[in-house]
Amino acid sequence: MRGVALAGATVMALVAACGGAGSYTTVVGKIRNAGQVVVGTKWDQPNLGLKTGDGPPEGFDVDVATYIVDYLARGQHVEITWRESPSSAREALLQNGSVDLIVATYSITASRRPKVTFGGPYIVTPQDTMVRTSDTSIKKVTDLRGKRLCLAEGSNSYRRIVDPPPDGKLNLPMLLVPAANYSDCVRKLADGQLDAISTLNLILAGFAAQEPDRFRLLHDPVSSEEWGVGIKKGDTATCEAVNQAIAAMWHDGTATRLLRKWFGRTGVKLPSSLPTPVGCP
């Protein structure tokens, strides 16, 4: 990981052009010259990004972000400031400069790409559905017809259930129950205020693993989503460097190790190979 050249002359020219604190034109320049970076993650998602005390958040996305920053720093010490980045605020946080990178179950979608430059994806994961273990009426995803589905603010996952193609998948009639985030969805599912949560299986697996007697996954995938590293629109140099870091993370076995560390006991099938980058326009 240490001492690997990044992205060639374009990156180095942009880094060299960066001035004092606050004047960096690229995140990779800020990391290398200021030794600082602000990283957004989720703080309410078990096994992905969960903050429970005074320390930093913990989880798969946090470890991925740490690896990427360390790679971009090329062996130099970097101070990481962690900032909570809920789904509904991710684009705004990047655009107003509150965060430099977002690693927070951030699906790469056509609607987001005009506003965000995405590095990666670092993982491709299927969308699944979680229900109460006691609810035996829902055995497969099509059993959701007429049920109550969680609509987490800022997330598009519900659309693949309720919308028709091309944007959706199943076009099922359902009652949408709004929630602030996926941890709020889980609380409402437990309280009987809704019947199902549908989103990426690693998100659901973390919640289900905390209370395996209370929740279960259907293991009936709807689609697959690509999780990317969110970067301010136009920072191509950092995007290219992040893609090199992600490739290294898979090639040296770190990605596989982290997936097993955080999800090896959840029963979900884990990704096993480096995804194809979406490119850095």
Q: Are 242 and 208 members of one domain?
A: no
Q: Tell me if 274 is assigned to some domain.
A: no
User: What's residue 121's pLDDT?
Assistant: 98
Which residue, 37, 39, 150, 42, is CA-closest to 88?
A: 42
Ramachandran region, residue 64 (left: φ > 0; alpha: ψ -120 to 50; beta: rest): alpha
And the tokens for 47? 């096994």
Q: Are 236 and 120 members of one domain?
A: yes
Q: Are 103 and 148 members of one domain?
A: no
Domain of residue 255, residue span: 8-124+225-263
Residue partners of 130: CB distance under 8 A and separation at least 6: 186, 189, 196, 197, 198, 204, 207, 208, 215, 216, 217, 218
Residue 278 near residue 108, CB atoms below 8 Å = yes
Give me the number of domains the chain comprises.
2
Which residue, 106, 99, 101, is CA-closest to 122?
A: 106
User: What's residue 168's pLDDT?
Assistant: 84
Q: Are 18 and 114 members of one domain?
A: yes
Q: Read off the pLDDT of residues 211-232 as tens digits, 9 standing for 90 and up.
A: 889 999 999 999 899 999 999 9
- Per the listing, tokens 């949560």 go with 197
Q: Tell me if 272 is assigned to some domain.
A: no
Distance separating the N- and C-terminal Cα atoms of the chain: 26
Q: Are 33 and 101 members of one domain?
A: yes
User: What's residue 111's pLDDT?
Assistant: 87
Q: How far apart are CA 250 and CA 229, in angstroms?
A: 15
Q: Are 207 and 101 members of one domain?
A: no
- HEC sequence for 61-95: HHHHHHHHHHHHHCCCCCEEEEEECCHHHHHHHHH
Diameter of the chain by CA atoms? 61
Domain containing residue 46: CATH number: 3.40.190.10
User: What's residue 198's pLDDT?
Assistant: 96
Q: How does strand 101-102 pair with strand 36-41? A: parallel
The single-letter code of the amino acid at 244 is Q
User: What's residue 219's pLDDT?
Assistant: 94
Q: Read off the pLDDT of residues 32-76 as tens digits, 9 standing for 90 and up.
A: 999 999 999 999 999 999 999 999 999 999 999 999 999 999 989
Q: Are 120 and 229 members of one domain?
A: yes
Q: Tell me if 280 is assigned to some domain.
A: no
User: What's residue 26's pLDDT?
Assistant: 96
Q: How far apart are CA 243 and CA 119, in angstroms?
A: 6
